[in-house]
Amino acid sequence: MSEVVSDVVPKVVERAAALLRQIRARNPRVHCITNTVAQAFTANALLAAGATPSVTTSPEEIGGFVAGADGLLVNLGTLDRERREAIGIALDAAGSRLPWVLDPVFVERSPPRLEFARSLIARSPAVIRLNAAELTALSGEKASVECARSFASRNGTIVALTGEVDVVTDGSRLVNLHNGDALMSKVTAMGCAGSAFVASALVVERDRWLATAAAMTVFGLAGELAAESSDGPGSLAFAILDTLHGMTPDTVVEDAWVEA
Amino acid sequence: MSEVVSDVVPKVVERAAALLRQIRARNPRVHCITNTVAQAFTANALLAAGATPSVTTSPEEIGGFVAGADGLLVNLGTLDRERREAIGIALDAAGSRLPWVLDPVFVERSPPRLEFARSLIARSPAVIRLNAAELTALSGEKASVECARSFASRNGTIVALTGEVDVVTDGSRLVNLHNGDALMSKVTAMGCAGSAFVASALVVERDRWLATAAAMTVFGLAGELAAESSDGPGSLAFAILDTLHGMTPDTVVEDAWVEA
Amino acid sequence: MSEVVSDVVPKVVERAAALLRQIRARNPRVHCITNTVAQAFTANALLAAGATPSVTTSPEEIGGFVAGADGLLVNLGTLDRERREAIGIALDAAGSRLPWVLDPVFVERSPPRLEFARSLIARSPAVIRLNAAELTALSGEKASVECARSFASRNGTIVALTGEVDVVTDGSRLVNLHNGDALMSKVTAMGCAGSAFVASALVVERDRWLATAAAMTVFGLAGELAAESSDGPGSLAFAILDTLHGMTPDTVVEDAWVEA
């Protein structure tokens, strides 16, 4: 077991270190169906990381955008009628070609959103990124590392469970990611932007678990480094964009904190 | 009269000084029905102040969000069909449990918005926060301190009239708030975020007039302090978030400028 | 020919130098029908430049807003049903009184958007601001300076073709604008905000070609100067607002880089 563990950690760090360079080189188009609050910050995070975002939720248009996209995010914030309709069309257009990320924001607050999220999980998202309250609502049991693991296995997906320590698991493989800063929770759309970044990582790495773990490592580290030079959540919001834009592989190798 | 006055000012300052600490401790959920321009900045201002925002305007979902909220803002910017419907549902869900803040943005520009705002005032907002043009349109007389006072009395509400000096009155009590900076008017959604902050103050202080005066003092002071260290409206937009996040009671006591 | 050229360049620079002062003095109301991602940044750019933005896309309200506006932007991002309907009403309300700017964002990605954009060009926008991919889609030929020139002539409009060097032409007059910075393309809504700024320039300068060339010069220069003091796209996003707010005529005269 320790050999396996000692394999996993350097692999995630190595993958994380190369990630931004590869995204910049590929410049993937990532279509983001996301909430109205998060659209601008999410688009800026993807641009800073080297991807090209699009965000329309118009049912008339989304098919064309998804057909030309390399990645897809489905975030359930501000889930209005148009977004519900757009999500269905987008998933039809994505088919099995595009792996997609589900971010079930605030499902614990709204019964119709919870029901809709369950119907989406049946459509096989590659990754579900959520916090403890959201996992509790979706799984019907108190969120924990074991709950994340079994939820991932049961649904054939990757679960990225965020919190003080982030957990990324496909049911068998599992890492704990310690990078990040508490101040990140004081900036709206920070998690939503992180989910979009995971969607861009899926374009350049076929191993979905590895892509997710690498992307979560890079994003957490970018927030952590940005927080160090910030006076509060306002300056963190722009500093993380600068950091994503300028971050080098060496920084990732030096400062990534990944545990199996 | 001077004894009354000398009572009122220190009471507002004292309440303002304690406000951020109390909001941080309580971490109230504040649901904001607000315009599409203001959503992200408003959410960031509430997070910086220690509250938790939600902003959906989906009629299917808003009932659940308001049922779980501690505070409610109704801002009339970008007033589309969905927002009109959502506002009605939200006020039904709020009932008499949740005091709510009305921000009748740009009612002087749009006759249907003005009519809708009047129908909302009949549903007893706890606070109406507006500028002179908006008060003139709603009251039918030229905005003034006396107009604000009589409008508050007539409608059984608190009026927060913004301008170079802000006035907060319940019809009998009245204070003039001098904190703030002209540069704040060059940042979109600054006033909208201020109204959301008032909604969060109503959660921790039952005296609605006092809550409003305290919140307007803190927000104006945060803008004033942030403007001092800003090179323009762009840097002010993030600096006010840093300031709200870090401001201490001592700063409020030292720099609040309240007059009866 | 060289005399004509030597006339044109100083005229654009002189007009650019005076532009911000005139916008600040006039404080025009500019109504922006723009995508959900761009609304806040666009509003902040107009406020920083001295204009007053409004952004509603509600069909019930937009007529009133456009009737009271001095300028109008029609940006086709996130083109949902409401926006399509609102654009028709807005153009009816604008009539021949208001020159308007068309920004056909991402028309190459969505066939219905391309068709809608063509129907709008038939309604005589004063200016069309677009990039090479958008011009290629709309004109049906590979984008080039000559293509921009003939497209402008054919449609009786000004074309502002953006790229490493921006080209502004009415079919006969043409300038190349070299100000700007590659980092600007890493901030979402930067181009959308630039188009809104062109709409505000049309209010203070009746020669539409000159207004467009001057506005594009100022906006590109603001981005270039802001980029010099930025650590990345996050800080550029606020620094360009500070720069627009504080830029003086002398700076424009010294640093504008215009070629015929």
Which chain C positions have a beta carbon within 8 Å of A188's beta carbon? none
pLDDT in tens, B162-194: 999 999 999 999 999 999 999 999 999 999 999
Q: For residues C40 and C81, is the Cβ–Cβ distance under 8 A?
A: no
Whether B234 and chain C come into contact, CB under 8 Å, resolves to yes
Q: Which residue of A has its CA nearest to B238?
A: A234
* β-sheet with A29-33: strand ranges across: A52-54, A29-33, A71-75, A100-103, A127-131, A158-162, A166-169, A174-177, A258-259
Whether C187 and chain A come into contact, CB under 8 Å, resolves to yes
Whether B64 and chain A come into contact, CB under 8 Å, resolves to yes
Yes or no, beta carbons of C81 and A58 under 8 Å apart: yes
Which chain A positions have a beta carbon within 8 Å of B64's beta carbon? 109-113
Please report which confidence band the pLDDT of residue A2 belongs to, taking 50, 70 and 90 as the band edges: very low
List all chains that touch chain C, counting a touch as 3 or more CB pairs closer than 8 Å. A, B
Q: Which residue of A has its CA nearest to C188?
A: A44
**Who among C60, C82, C240 is closest to B234 (CB)?**
C240
The beta strand positions in chain A, using DSSP E, are: 29-33, 52-54, 71-75, 100-103, 127-131, 158-162, 166-169, 174-177, 258-259
Q: Which residue of B has its CA nearest to C49?
A: B186
List all chains that touch chain B, counting a touch as 3 or more CB pairs closer than 8 Å. A, C
Which chain C positions have a beta carbon within 8 Å of A238's beta carbon? 234-235, 237-238
Give CA separation, C251 vs C10, C47, C135, C256, C258, in Å.
15, 20, 32, 8, 14
Q: For residues A224 and A153, is the Cβ–Cβ distance under 8 A?
A: no
Yes or no, beta carbons of B189 and C53 under 8 Å apart: no
Give CA separation, A139 vs A25, A101, A107, in Å.
38, 18, 11
What is residue C1's predicted lDDT score, i.e. its pLDDT?
Answer: 40
Give CA separation, C69 vs A63, B46, C66, C90, in Å.
35, 32, 5, 10
Question: How far is A100 from A202, CA to CA, in rounded Å?
Answer: 8
* β-sheet with B29-33: strand ranges across: B52-54, B29-33, B71-75, B100-103, B127-131, B158-162, B166-169, B174-177, B258-259
Q: What is the DSSP letter of B106?
A: T
Yes or no, beta carbons of C40 and B230 under 8 Å apart: no
User: What average pLDDT does the structure give for chain B?
Assistant: 96
Yes or no, beta carbons of A187 and B47 under 8 Å apart: yes
How many CB atoms within 10 Å of residue C11?
17
Please check the confidence at residue B46 and state whether its pLDDT lies above 50. yes
What is residue A5's predicted lDDT score, i.e. its pLDDT?
Answer: 55
Whether B28 and chain C come into contact, CB under 8 Å, resolves to no
Kindly give the parts of chain C with pLDDT less than 70: 1-6
Whether B35 and chain A come into contact, CB under 8 Å, resolves to no
Q: B37, B79, B238: best mutation site toward chain C, by most C Cβ within 10 Å? A: B37
ipTM (interface predicted TM): 0.95
pLDDT in tens, A73-89: 999 999 999 999 999 99
Give the total number of structural domains in chain B: 1
What is residue A157's predicted lDDT score, i.e. its pLDDT?
Answer: 98
What is residue A199's predicted lDDT score, i.e. its pLDDT?
Answer: 98
What is residue C2's predicted lDDT score, i.e. its pLDDT?
Answer: 44
How many CB atoms within 10 Å of residue B25?
10
Give CA separation, C91 vs B110, B209, C71, C87, C102, in Å.
17, 44, 11, 6, 11
The boundaries of the domain holding residue A71 are: 2-259
Which chain A positions have a beta carbon within 8 Å of C231's beta carbon? 239, 242, 246
Whether C112 and chain A come into contact, CB under 8 Å, resolves to yes
Tokens 């994380």 correspond to: A16
**Who among C40, C186, C235 is closest to A47 (CB)?**
C186
Which chain A positions have a beta carbon within 8 Å of B52's beta carbon? none
Please check the confidence at residue A1 and state whether its pLDDT lies above 80. no
What is residue A6's predicted lDDT score, i.e. its pLDDT?
Answer: 61
How many CB atoms within 10 Å of residue C109?
21
Yes or no, beta carbons of B187 and C57 under 8 Å apart: no
Nearest chain C CA: its distance from A39 CA (Å): 6
Angle of helix C59-67 versus helix C81-94 axis, rounded to 10:
30
Which chain C positions have a beta carbon within 8 Å of A54's beta carbon? 106, 109
Yes or no, beta carbons of B47 and A109 under 8 Å apart: no
Yes or no, beta carbons of C77 and A56 under 8 Å apart: yes
CA-based R_g, chain A, Å? 17
Which chain C positions have a beta carbon within 8 Å of A65's beta carbon? 106, 109-110
How many beta-carbon contacts under 8 Å exist across B and C?
90
Tokens 């949740």 correspond to: B98
Please check the confidence at residue B6 and state whether its pLDDT lies above 80. no
Q: For residues C118 and C135, is the Cβ–Cβ distance under 8 A?
A: no
Q: Which residue of A has its CA nearest to B68?
A: A109
Share of chain A above pLDDT 90, in %: 97
3-state secondary structure chain C: CHHHHHHHHHHHHHHHHHHHHHHHHHCCEEEEECCCCCHHHHHHHHHHHCCEEECCCCHHHHHHHHHCCCEEEEECCCCCHHHHHHHHHHHHHHCCCCCEEEECCCHHHCHHHHHHHHHHHCCCCCEEEEEHHHHHHHHCCCCCHHHHHHHHHHHCCEEEEECCCEEEECCCCEEEECCCCHHHHHCCCHHHHHHHHHHHHHHHCCCHHHHHHHHHHHHHHHHHHHHHCCCCHHHHHHHHHHHHHHCCHHHHHHHCCEEC
Displacement of CA C189 from its chain's centroid (Å): 12
Cβ-count burial A51-64 (b if 16+ within 10 Å, e if not): bbbbbbbbbbbbbb
**Who among A57, A239, A240 is closest to C78 (CB)?**
A57
Question: How far is C98 from C54, CA to CA, in rounded Å?
Answer: 15
Q: Which residue of B has its CA nearest to A231?
A: B242
Please check the confidence at residue B3 and state whether its pLDDT lies above 90. no
Q: B39, B82, B109, B183: best mutation site toward chain C, by most C Cβ within 10 Å? A: B109
pLDDT in tens, B130-145: 999 999 999 999 999 9
The answer for residues whose C-beta is within 8 angstroms of residue B146's C-beta and 6 or more apart is none
Q: Which residue of A has its CA nearest to C232?
A: A242
Yes or no, beta carbons of B239 and A235 under 8 Å apart: yes
Whether A150 and chain B come into contact, CB under 8 Å, resolves to no
What is residue C6's predicted lDDT score, i.e. its pLDDT?
Answer: 61
The structure tokens listed for C249 are 């005529």
In chain B, count H helices and then E strands.
Answer: 11, 9
Yes or no, beta carbons of C109 and A82 under 8 Å apart: no
If you write DSSP's letter for every residue of B188-253 in order, what string do you get? TTHHHHHHHHHHHHHHH-S-HHHHHHHHHHHHHHHHHHHHHT-SSHHHHHHHHHHHHHH--HHHHH
The answer for residues whose C-beta is within 8 angstroms of residue B133's C-beta and 6 or more apart is B108, B143
**Who among B58, B237, B244 is closest to A78 (CB)?**
B58
Q: A20, A23, A61: best mutation site toward chain C, by most C Cβ within 10 Å? A: A61
Whether A16 and chain C come into contact, CB under 8 Å, resolves to no
How many CB atoms within 10 Å of residue A153?
14
- CATH of residue B222: 3.40.1190.20
Question: What backbone torsions phi and psi does residue B96 show, to the nearest 5 degrees?
Answer: -95, 0
Please report which confidence band the pLDDT of residue B64 belongs to, taking 50, 70 and 90 as the band edges: very high
